[in-house]
Structure 1
């Protein structure tokens, strides 16, 4: 009886381990920069970067400056509306527009 139980338990553990294998790669859950901009920035800077109650982001903007503003805030803008990779992707996207 013990051998049968151990066989079933061992087989179950093997099956569960095999099914859960994610390959060690983390899934990228970061939203697209345009989507992040719309969620976190568009209220103040306009849906098309034209400005609203915040300044326009149209024109030749330096990515580093945009990232600094996102991280540190300033001129009425709160700091850290986005952080890390999200902040970097939005700064890059804004500078490319």
Structure 2
């Protein structure tokens, strides 16, 4: 008894692999085009920087520094008054000292809003 020929199955597998690779490249190109069409909104000032800073803190910092600023896997931020100035906090946000990543996607106004929020929360 003779087995089924392997050739049609190999062709089907090869077509499937090539199609998967081609679709992956197409999707990556679509994603690149989608992101290049978006221009980031440049924030020049906030009406209430403390409220904006709280929202930005929630988006960027809460995972490591905690909802109550007491620190989880990173230092506590609930007693910064007198320890750091707003400018120093902005610098820390942008440079990311130690194991903290640099948040260079935040502009100076956004980083300053976070600094104002943190300084307003000091005990």
Q: TM-score by structure 2 length?
A: 0.50
Whether the 8 Å contact between 2:45 and 2:109 is mirrored in structure 1 is no
Between Structure 1 and Structure 2, whose CA radius of gyration is higher?
2
| SS of match in other structure, 2:74 | coil
* 1:84 and 2:108 matched: yes
* 1:93 and 2:117 matched: yes
Query: Shift of residue 48 of structure 1?
Result: 1.1
| SS of match in other structure, 1:32 | helix
Per-residue CA shift, 1:29-88, capped at 9, x if unaligned? 968111110010000000111101111001134222211110111111111252221111
**In 1, Cα distance between equivalents of 2:58 and 2:44:** 19
Whether the 8 Å contact between 1:57 and 1:94 is mirrored in structure 2 is yes
Which residue number in structure 2 is paired with residue 48 of structure 1? 68
Aligned match for 1:39, one of 59, 71, 81: 59
| Equivalent residues in 2 for 1:62-73, closer than 5 Å | 62=84, 63-73=86-96
Query: Tell me, which stretches of 5 or more residues in structure 2 are unaligned?
Result: 1-42
Query: Shift of residue 28 of structure 1?
Result: 7.4
Which residue number in structure 2 is paired with residue 10 of structure 1? none
Whether the 8 Å contact between 1:40 and 1:81 is mirrored in structure 2 is no
Q: How many residues align?
A: 71
